[in-house]
C-alpha cells in the first residue's frame, strides 16, 4: 500500500495515476471513514471518477508520499512517523527548501527522500483535479537509508506512468526549482497576476536583476553549481513565458486566503544569506511583502 499524506492537487494527481487499489490517503484526525471521491481530468483523455480510501491504523504502507505544504510538513508527520516502519521510504514533495532538511534531521535513520516535479496539477473546482501539463519528476536521497532505497522508490513512483528519474544530487534539482519559484511566485502574489504578466510590470523590472545577483552569490557560497545572474534571469523568464497564463501556487494561496510558502522560498534564501554573510535585501523585501498579504 502506498500512502499519500496531503490530499491537495499534487496528492490527488499521484493518487489518480498510481495503480488502482494500491493507494490510500492518510486521514486527518476529524476525517470521516467514507472514501475520498473526486473527478480527475488527464492531459489527454476523458474525465474519470476516482475513489481513494483512507489509510487505517492497522495498515503499514510500503511507501509514504508527502504532498503537504512546506509549512505543514513537520506537524503532519509527527503523529504518523512513530507508527511507520523504519524501512518505509518517505518521499517529500515540498516547494522551496528548509522543510526537507528538517525532516531528515529529525528522522535520520529513516529512508527520507526528496522529490521535485514539473507535473502540472490544479483544482479549478473542489471535486475536480486537472492534470494540466506533463513534466518530469526527480527523486533523490536525504539520508543514508534513503540512498539504499532510491532506485526501488523511483521504480514504484514510475508505476504511475509519469516520468520519474532517480538522481544522486537532489539538491541541485531542488535549487533549480527554488530559483524559478523565487523569481516568479512572489511577484505574481504581490501583483496578483498570472505568471507571464509579471514580465512587463515596473515592479518586476526594478527588482529582478538585483534578486538574481543575490541568488547567484548564494549558489556559489553554498557549494551549488555556479550560475550568473544573467543566466538565472533567462531561466526565470523562460518559465514565465512558457507558463504565461498559469496562476502560481503562491498567488493561488493568496487568492484562497491560505498561508503561502514564501518562508521556504525567498525567506529561505534570506536566512541562508544571513548565515553566509551575504546581503539578501531583495529576498527579505519580497518575503515581507508577501507575508503582509497573508
Q: Which of 17, 69, 152, 177 is catalytic?
A: 177
Instruction: Please state the three-class secondary structure of the chain as a single string.
Output: CEEEECCCHHHHHHHHHCCCCCEEECCCCCCCCCCEEEEEECCCCCCEEEEECECCCCCCCCEEEECCCHHHHHHHHCCCHHHCCCCCCEEECCCCCCHHHHHHHHCCCCCEEEEEECCEEEEEECCEEEEEECCCEEEEECCHHHHHCHHHHHHHHHCCCCCEEECCCHHHHHHHHHHHHHHHHHHHHHHCCCHHHHHHCHHHHHHHHHHHHHHHHHHHHCCCCCCCHHHHHHHHHHHHHHCCCCCCHHHHHHHHCCCCCHHHCHHHHHHHHHHHCCCCHHHHHHHHHHHHHC
User: Is 177 in the active site?
Assistant: yes
Q: Can you give the length of the chain in residues? A: 294
Q: Which residues are catalytic?
A: 177
Amino acid at each position: 500500500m502506498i500512502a499519500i499524506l496531503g490530499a491537495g492537487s499534487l496528492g490527488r494527481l499521484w493518487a489518480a495515476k498510481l495503480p488502482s487499489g494500491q493507494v490510500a490517503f492518510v486521514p486527518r484526525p476529524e476525517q470521516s471513514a467514507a472514501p475520498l471521491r473526486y473527478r480527475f481530468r488527464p492531459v489527454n483523455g476523458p474525465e474519470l471518477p476516482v475513489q481513494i480510501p483512507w489509510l487505517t491504523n492497522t495498515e503499514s504502507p510500503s511507501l509514504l508520499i508527502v504532498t503537504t505544504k512546506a509549512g505543514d510538513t513537520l506537524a503532519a508527520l509527527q503523529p504518523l512517523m512513530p507508527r511507520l516502519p523504519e524501512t518505509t521510504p518517505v518521499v517529500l514533495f515540498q516547494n522551496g527548501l528548509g522543510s526537507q532538511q528538517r525532516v531528515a534531521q529529525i528522522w535520520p535513520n529513516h529512508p527520507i527522500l526528496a522529490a521535485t516535479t514539473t507535473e502540472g496539477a490544479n483544482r479549478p473546482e473542489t471535486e475536480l483535479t486537472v492534470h494540466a501539463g506533463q513534466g518530469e519528476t526527480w527523486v533523490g536521497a536525504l539520508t543514508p537509508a534513503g540512498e539504499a532505497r532510491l532506485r526501488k522508490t523511483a521504480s514504484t513512483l514510475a508505476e504511475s506512468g509519469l516520468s520519474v528519474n532517480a538522481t544522486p544530487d537532489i539538491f541541485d534539482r531542488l535549487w533549480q526549482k527554488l530559483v524559478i519559484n523565487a523569481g516568479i511566485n512572489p511577484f505574481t502574489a504581490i501583483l496578483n497576476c498570472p505568471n507571464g504578466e509579471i514580465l512587463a510590470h515596473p515592479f518586476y523590472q526594478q527588482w529582478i536583476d538585483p534578486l538574481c545577483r543575490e541568488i547567484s552569490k548564494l549558489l556559489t557560497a553554498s557549494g551549488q553549481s555556479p550560475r550568473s545572474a544573467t543566466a538565472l534571469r533567462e531561466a526565470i523568464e523562460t518559465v514565465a513565458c512558457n507558463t504565461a497564463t498559469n496562476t502560481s501556487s503562491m498567488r493561488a494561496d493568496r487568492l484562497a486566503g491560505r498561508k503561502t510558502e514564501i518562508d521556504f522560498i525567498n525567506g529561505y534564501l534570506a536566512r541562508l544569506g544571513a548565515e553566509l554573510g551575504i546581503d539578501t535585501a531583495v529576498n527579505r523585501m519580497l518575503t515581507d511583502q508577501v507575508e503582509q498579504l497573508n
